Structure 1
Amino acid sequence: MGSGEADDPLPLRVHQRGALDALEAAYAAGRTRAWIVLPPGGGKTRVGLETAARHLADGTVTRAVVLSPNTAIQGQWVDAATAFGLTASDDRGSDAELVSLTYQAVAVFDADDEVADDPDAGTSQLARLHPNGRDLVERLRKTPGLLLVLDECHHLLEVWGELLAEVLAELPSAHVLGLTATPPATLDADQARLVDELFGGIVFQAGVPALVREGDLAPYLEVAHLVTPTVHEQEWLAEEATRFGELTTRLMDPTFGSRPFLQWLDERYVTAVPRAEVAPEQLDAALRLHFVGMLALPPGAVLSERHRRPPTPQDWVLLIDDWLRRCVVASEDPRDHDVLRVVRRALPAVGYVWTRRGIRAGRSTVDRVLARTMAKTTATVDLVAGEWDSLGDHTRVLVLCDHERASAIVPRELDGVLDQQEGSARSVIAALVGDPATAGLAPLLVTGSTVAAAESTLRDLVEQVRLTDARLADALVVEPGDAAVAQLTGPWTSRRWVPHVTRLFESGGTRVLVGTRGLLGEGWDAPRISTLVDLTTATTSTAVVQTRGRALRIDATWPDKVAMTWSVVCLTEAHPRGGQDWDRLVRKHVGFQGVDAEGDVVDGVGHLDASFSPYLPPAIADIDAINHRMAERARDRQAVRAWWRVGEPYVDQVRPTLRVRGRLAPVAPDVRPEPPAVVAAADGVLFRGAVPEGPGAFAVRHRHERLTGWRDLVLAPLLAPPSLDQLGRAVADALAAAGLGGPGGAAVVVEPHPSGEYRCRLDGADEPSSWLFADSLEQLLAPLATPRYVVARYVLGADDVPDVGVWATLGGRSAVRRAIAQARPSGVVWHPVPTALGVNAARAGAFAEAWDRWVGPTQLLYTGSPEGAGVLAAQQGSDPFDATTVVRRHWS
């Protein structure tokens, strides 16, 4: 049996040892179920084999049964177990030490679909199984000393959560080990609950950046290539947009309906007393209408980054649906009957339909055009050719599509706009084989049902097969096909042809594989992949992590490998839903970390380009410049490798960081701030601490100059706005004092960045506290909106300070100090108390105390009082810091 000890030719990696140690500790504590998270390429199989081997050796396990999602992974377990010294089989009836099966042995999974239909509620899932599945569960139940390994076990949560619970209930004495690459932070509430119930929580986890820093995964770069639809597609989209544009124009008409749309919105969100209960997404939609000047600011609302953009069709639909159901439908007024007719006719243009239960999502032909545009296929050819020019012999490109063929019929309205097979793997392989820039790379299509390429490439594959299986090679037939793409047929299935195709790819016989996510997007192992071109539409965390994991393996033949992932995205401004493909890209990068152009590891689309926002697609006019930047970054792989700082220490923690640009006092590097010793109050200047010494006697010759210098040093912070340090510490101290969590102001870290922005985070805090701090500080820096409480900051101008020259001459330093104390602030600026701290007077008071300590004496006002309402009316919309803020999740 394999041992994994020091004499093993492949010693355990840091995170494999960590996972095994955590697992053994859990077993020693009496647990029999465990859930371990390691990214693709992180060695989950080795962890499972070590666990099986150790417990087979000590007799606590008599047989290990591994269930995995597809035949490729099933075969890899058999091969790995055999190489590890275990007897292994893929036959459910085998007596081997390790039996590797697919989840299909228990229940049917569709290899090309991310999620199957949910089983009927209220029905025993075991009872619904095929007899073969029930027989397997019974065999497992009767196996003493069973170790059940559930590889890529996130599938069970997404598809068969109830079935998993019933199966494990039948195996109370078995040891169960769940292995997955899906980060726990991406599990929804139901999935997280199921993990806790069935496995007792996660025993060990490590993220992709940690393994890159260790050197166990290749450094990588995520880049996007932006395209616009073809001319014919663009014309069709513009025509479709007309109907929805006409609707939004009608909605602005004060005679459209008995209670017009804008009047309804004002009554619902602004003037309602008591305040109407609305869903968070509805309020977000209303705030985006406010941003473009269509609605007053709802009381208590604060604009954040996600609100600073025009409303999307989804926003309009949310608000229109609320208006229709609550106001229009029940009306007998003929004007409202006309409203319903107009809305019903316009909704399909943006992918929605009116039903008896309100507006629902319908078939989106617009999304189909954006997802499957011919422009993406053309771009893929260009990207592959570019990688060939850049990498030469190292080039190994994997192009992933959703499907081999487009099964759905192109809707009649897209006839002549979109080809039937456009966007499928078939159309991509035809383009690659047919283009002189890529044909020499011998592109090859491999799916669950097909192997296809140019005839010469397929004959090379037959010879590759002959090296290990001459009989099979003799039975294979190259059949000519359309567009110079032939097909290889014979007595084999994907289980047999994937290893042969992989060897051809690894050896350079083909340098471009085009495949489907269902076959190659998960579990398939080809360390020489240099580049992934992602044409898929799946946005689940599982699909994203698994797809990107294909390129991250270390390549022994290329020690300096840097993996590249290109996402091809179609944008248009010709239709209000022209950003759907962008939204898909955003969802793919939520929770997925990558290195940005400044060497920071962050999640979200911000790591693709600093200009990218999760809330708004780039302007079409900027596409060429963006694509140029992306190409430049992609060419400099050594710079990318340097950004990852492989081998340097790390924490393996992701926390939100507030990035700020604005009118804030400079932050002194490496100087830990203290509460200011001199502050401006309503009635003058207060000295309440150790005052700076100022220039020394040896530095300045004359006493008058020395005193003047001391005066200027004292006045400098009074005349400048507060620093981000001061504001951040006030927020953090207030949150801690109010019992809302976090370690307080001492944990605030502010770092000046070469780009000119500041980055502020709360060190050593848990994630909820970190988020609350970042959100609260962002609200404090925002323009004054409609907070429940405000605090005053007294502002001292240069003209407010007496001339201290005479005082300096007559009375020395103490006289200068008295002169400064006579200054009287000429202005006051009001700032919002962050929402979490403005819930009640006690919390607001905690913020005022923290503000007094870090910024200066203040006055706290409730904006519901006459005085507070007056302040709000006078200063609403003021933006004292003129700050641009975004929150990004940083890994360190």
Structure 2
Amino acid sequence: MAFCHSWRSYQARLLEEIDDHLKDDKLHFVAAPGAGKTVLGLEIIRRLGRRTLILAPSLLVRDQWIARLVTDYLGGAVPDWISTDITSDAPVRVSTYQNVHTSRTKSLPPFDLLCLDEAHHLRRSWWKTLTRLAERTGCMTLSLTATPPYDVNASEWNNYTALCGPVDAEISVPELVRSGDLCPHQDLVYLAPAANGRDYHDSLVSERALFDDLAGDDALLASLSADPWIVATQTHVAAILDNPVRFSAMLVYLRHNDRPAPPYARRVLQVNDADWPALDWHWLLTLFQEFPTEKLPPTVLTRLKGAGALRNDRLTLPPPAFADRLHLLRNDQAKLDAMPDIYATERAARGTRLRMAILLDRIGKTNLRLSDAPPGFNTLGVFRHLLDHVGQTPMAVLTGQFAILPAALGSGLEGRTVPGVPGYVLVGGALHSDAVSRANRAFSAGDVEVIIGTQSFLGQGWDAPALNALVLGTNLKSFVAVNQLRGRALRTSSTQPDKTAHIWHMAVVPDHRTEGDDINRLKRRFECFVRLDRDARAIHSDFAVAQTVTDQNALAKTRADTGRSLADEWQAALKTDSGPKAKLTTRTVLPSRQRLQALPVPALSFWGRLAAEFGRPPSVSQAQRGIERLARMTIASLSELGDLPPVTADLIPLVAWDGTTWQVGITSTCKLDEAIFHETLQQMFNPVDSPRYVISVKSGLLHSNFQYFAVPDRFGSHKDRARIFWRNWQGYVGRGALVYTRTVDGRGVLQAARISSSGRRTSTRTRWQ
């Protein structure tokens, strides 16, 4: 059994690296759409030579594995040594996650390798079943995905990596564009001002009024000022250290109202005056939850109940009416009006070569005449709206329930006429799949120019290589979902060798300014993928929006109109100083305003320490040396622990200043080493949560100021591991004190660390270089 074709360069690279990743018996590879993920999995299985159970999320994907094996390796019929029956004793079995979950109480014939395809599906019940299966059999795991669930919460991500292991290697989108296996593309942002922007602003004003009332309540202020913990702090130190969160919340509230902290408070919680956080909803909720509801002043209770924040003795802050203001911006008419504008932009740029798809969350009501239906941002609403504005354009609507086609395409499909829409027929039932196939063929040939569909139906598995303009009219923001939808447009087309693609993202804003919750949602979406930055001639994640709606939309239209130069601009951005070894690299990003707070003073030079003594931030050069020391200390500690290779000239930190942020990386070519380094570094720089150990650093004149840093999780599980980190800290950084936080005194230090570090933030940025 051998592969019948030649390996592409990026496939060969990944296959050559297999042996480097076997030490934990977990192989975890990320391969962008178009990278040949299935044949890579088959080749790895062949090379490992183990009895294998392959699992896929659906029957369709399961059958694709068998088809690829027969086509690309055997060139004939399905052999008898492969089976879709998980209870058979075949050397290779192929099944689905659901089948294994349903059969979880059965005893399966032995296997040595568990292959998990589209591993991002492994959450909750499937994850539990497969984790038990892997633990029971002691097998090696091979996990394959195009879209790791990077954006899930920490608990889900830990579950995912516990089963699949850290990402070992990746075949990225830029690699595939460089090789010609994905088309050059760009992401464009279109903003729509909401007609009900006044409601959004009124909500902001109401929320501010509620917060101000609760934050300055006279009765609550009097009660806290007379509390024994405030009046006689020294007498109640033991009780305070038993619940330092309550004491902290009281002090934050009092400081907000210009009430001085008790003199002894600083000795209990060693927090610098400048590091105390401002009162916000989090601290109000913390304070109120520390008291029985009936003990809160009547004025506070009245405001909480009136705002809907207190229901059935359950307190929610901010109240639900303010917590999700996005529904005020999900203005159907604003988004509907954007559709003809985007279509006209693309039609002017591409002419008859335009193949546009608009993906939406909802279908809309089908029991009304479309001409009488209320406008809604759904498949039927967008279809109706485009008909009114660009009625001569041939369109189709594709959903899981029905399809709407031009009458000429519906011949013989027993379609019924669409009320209020002459020239179109609606097809459902048994002939639905035939209608979808016809629509896809017509789309490829140009007889249908626009397809409007639901993301649930077209988002996975829809194969339309002709697609060159994709409008994401969906509220999805998860890494997995967004990248699956974008992947629909990135495929190359044999009929359009020079194909380029545009992916349009939409947000509704309250007024002409580019701000609001929907913009923030969009910024989080852009952290999910890398894109071509045409201004910087670089490839990286995230984006910056123009200052006004008019400027942003004008920029998007200009970018669409100049899309013909995309291929050249991609090739220019792909050429870096690293040459053919260029790859996607990860950087930990530290905002400049945090450099005094986040940098341990002992790590600075003499002049940097002297400046810090007087509360002045270190210079750029001083900060760079301090960050480099922390990064080297991280590498040395991880190497001593055995989680990174021995420290060599090939394993050094990279620290760069771009004028507004510090970006920290590592020279390692191993994806796993890079991930471990950033995970550890960010746990030091980020706000302290609940580590077993923290490092306390005294600074300032007379050592009257304090800094706190978490000992990362990899070192905190045992005292001996913590000492490795502490020993390297002393060698690379300098003085401090290692504090165990699970004692009474340690809890006080932990709370002080949480308060002092609450303003620190890091982010992750991916860049091709």
Note whether the superposition's TM-score is higher than 0.5: yes
Say whether residues 1:434 and 2:391 are aligned partners.
Answer: no
Counterpart residue identity of residue 444, structure 1: A
Cα distance in 2 for partners of 1:294, 1:509 equals 73
Cα distance in 1 for partners of 2:184, 2:451 equals 22
SS at match of 2:556: helix
Structure 2 counterpart of 1:389: 348
SS at match of 2:291: helix
- Do the aligned partners of residues 602 and 526 (structure 1) sit closer, same or farther apart at CA in structure 2, a change above 3 Å counting? same
Query: How far has the Cα of 1:446 moved from its partner?
Result: 0.7
SS at match of 2:584: coil
Pairing partner for 1:632 from 548, 558, 579: 558
Structure 1 counterpart of 2:457: 519
Q: Give yes or no for contact 1:126–1:166 (8 Å, CA) kept in 2.
A: no
Q: How does 1:440-519 map to 2 (within 5 A)?
A: 440-453=392-405, 457-459=406-408, 461-462=409-410, 474-483=412-421, 486-489=424-427, 492=430, 496-519=434-457
TM-score normalised to structure 2 length: 0.68
Cα distance in 1 for partners of 2:146, 2:230 equals 48
Query: How far has the Cα of 1:168 moved from its partner?
Result: 6.4
Structure 1 counterpart of 2:117: 151
Counterpart residue identity of residue 650, structure 1: A
Say whether residues 1:531 and 2:469 are aligned partners.
Answer: yes
Query: How far has the Cα of 1:246 moved from its partner?
Result: 3.5
Cα distance in 2 for partners of 1:164, 1:570 equals 41
Query: How far has the Cα of 1:386 moved from its partner?
Result: 0.9
Say whether residues 1:729 and 2:694 are aligned partners.
Answer: no
Pairing partner for 1:221 from 163, 177, 186: 186
Say whether residues 1:599 and 2:542 are aligned partners.
Answer: no
Counterpart residue identity of residue 764, structure 1: T
TM-score normalised to structure 1 length: 0.60
Pairing partner for 1:376 from 329, 335, 347: 335
**Who wins on radius of gyration, i.e. which is larger?**
1
Q: Give yes or no for contact 1:725–1:749 (8 Å, CA) kept in 2.
A: no
Query: How far has the Cα of 1:218 moved from its partner?
Result: 2.6
Pairing partner for 1:586 from 523, 536, 550: 523
Say whether residues 1:543 and 2:481 are aligned partners.
Answer: yes
**1:402-454: CA deviation from partner (whole Å, max 9, x where unpaired):** 222379xxxxxxxxxxx976222221222222212xx444222111111114x
Q: How does 1:240-251 map to 2 (within 5 A)?
A: 240=203, 243-251=206-214
- Do the aligned partners of residues 632 and 727 (structure 1) sit closer, same or farther apart at CA in structure 2, a change above 3 Å counting? same
Cα distance in 1 for partners of 2:259, 2:677 equals 35
SS at match of 1:452: strand
Counterpart residue identity of residue 505, structure 1: F
Q: Give yes or no for contact 1:656–1:890 (8 Å, CA) kept in 2.
A: no
Query: How far has the Cα of 1:645 moved from its partner?
Result: 1.7
**1:88-134: CA deviation from partner (whole Å, max 9, x where unpaired):** 79x97899999987766x39xxxxxxxxxxxxxxxxx647x9xxxx9
Structure 1 counterpart of 2:283: 319
Counterpart residue identity of residue 500, structure 1: R
Cα distance in 2 for partners of 1:81, 1:357 equals 56
- Do the aligned partners of residues 97 and 391 (structure 1) sit closer, same or farther apart at CA in structure 2, a change above 3 Å counting? farther
Say whether residues 1:183 and 2:148 are aligned partners.
Answer: yes
Query: How far has the Cα of 1:728 moved from its partner?
Result: 0.8
**1:705-754: CA deviation from partner (whole Å, max 9, x where unpaired):** xxxxxxxxxxxxxxxx976344312332256459666979995656676x
Cα distance in 2 for partners of 1:757, 1:173 equals 48
Q: How does 1:51-90 map to 2 (within 5 A)?
A: 67-69=56-58, 84=72, 85=75, 87=77
Query: How far has the Cα of 1:400 moved from its partner?
Result: 1.4
Structure 1 counterpart of 2:314: 357
Structure 2 counterpart of 1:4: 3
**1:339-363: CA deviation from partner (whole Å, max 9, x where unpaired):** 222222224xxxx663423227758
Cα distance in 1 for partners of 2:201, 2:467 equals 40
Query: How far has the Cα of 1:569 moved from its partner?
Result: 0.8
Q: Which runs of 5+ in 1 are unaligned?
A: 108-124, 408-418, 463-472, 613-617, 665-674, 683-720, 780-786, 793-829, 853-858, 862-883
Q: Give yes or no for contact 2:359–2:454 (8 Å, CA) kept in 1.
A: yes
Structure 1 counterpart of 2:361: 402
Structure 2 counterpart of 1:13: 8
**1:539-586: CA deviation from partner (whole Å, max 9, x where unpaired):** 2222122122212222334444333222111122799xx833234323
Query: How far has the Cα of 1:489 moved from its partner?
Result: 1.8
- How many residue pairs match? The answer is 671
- Do the aligned partners of residues 184 and 655 (structure 1) sit closer, same or farther apart at CA in structure 2, a change above 3 Å counting? farther
Q: Give yes or no for contact 1:234–1:574 (8 Å, CA) kept in 2.
A: no
Q: How does 1:615-630 map to 2 (within 5 A)?
A: 622-630=548-556
Q: How does 1:725-804 map to 2 (within 5 A)?
A: 725-733=621-629, 736=632, 747=652, 749=654, 760-764=663-667, 766-767=674-675, 769-770=677-678, 789-790=698-699
Q: Give yes or no for contact 1:398–1:512 (8 Å, CA) kept in 2.
A: yes
Q: Give yes or no for contact 1:87–1:98 (8 Å, CA) kept in 2.
A: no
SS at match of 1:160: helix
Query: How far has the Cα of 1:536 moved from its partner?
Result: 1.6
Pairing partner for 1:41 from 28, 34, 39: 34
SS at match of 1:375: helix
- Do the aligned partners of residues 443 and 246 (structure 1) sit closer, same or farther apart at CA in structure 2, a change above 3 Å counting? same
Cα distance in 2 for partners of 1:295, 1:628 equals 52
- Do the aligned partners of residues 341 and 59 (structure 1) sit closer, same or farther apart at CA in structure 2, a change above 3 Å counting? closer
Q: Which runs of 5+ in 2 are unaligned?
A: 367-372, 597-603, 611-616, 640-646, 669-673, 688-695, 717-721, 738-760
Q: Give yes or no for contact 2:97–2:126 (8 Å, CA) kept in 1.
A: no
SS at match of 2:494: coil
Cα distance in 2 for partners of 1:483, 1:221 equals 34
Counterpart residue identity of residue 302, structure 2: R
Identity over aligned pairs, percent: 21
Query: How far has the Cα of 1:851 moved from its partner?
Result: 9.4
Counterpart residue identity of residue 428, structure 1: V
Cα distance in 1 for partners of 2:571, 2:384 equals 37
SS at match of 1:216: coil
Structure 1 counterpart of 2:751: none
SS at match of 2:471: strand
Q: Give yes or no for contact 1:367–1:580 (8 Å, CA) kept in 2.
A: yes
Cα distance in 1 for partners of 2:341, 2:307 equals 38
Cα distance in 2 for partners of 1:288, 1:481 equals 62
Cα distance in 2 for partners of 1:81, 1:263 equals 76
Counterpart residue identity of residue 503, structure 2: T
Query: How far has the Cα of 1:234 moved from its partner?
Result: 3.1
SS at match of 2:490: coil
Counterpart residue identity of residue 478, structure 2: T
Query: How far has the Cα of 1:475 moved from its partner?
Result: 3.7
Query: How far has the Cα of 1:236 moved from its partner?
Result: 4.2
Say whether residues 1:890 and 2:753 are aligned partners.
Answer: no
Query: How far has the Cα of 1:385 moved from its partner?
Result: 1.9
Counterpart residue identity of residue 3, structure 2: G
Cα distance in 2 for partners of 1:261, 1:406 equals 55
Query: How far has the Cα of 1:598 moved from its partner?
Result: 1.2
Q: Give yes or no for contact 2:51–2:92 (8 Å, CA) kept in 1.
A: no
- Do the aligned partners of residues 148 and 744 (structure 1) sit closer, same or farther apart at CA in structure 2, a change above 3 Å counting? closer
Pairing partner for 1:255 from 196, 208, 218: 218
Say whether residues 1:653 and 2:585 are aligned partners.
Answer: yes
Say whether residues 1:339 and 2:277 are aligned partners.
Answer: no
Counterpart residue identity of residue 36, structure 2: G
Say whether residues 1:423 and 2:377 are aligned partners.
Answer: yes
Question: How big is the alpha-carbon RMSD for the aligned residues of Structure 1 and Structure 2?
Answer: 5.9
Structure 2 counterpart of 1:796: none
Cα distance in 2 for partners of 1:162, 1:39 equals 26
Cα distance in 1 for partners of 2:419, 2:230 equals 65
Query: How far has the Cα of 1:624 moved from its partner?
Result: 2.0
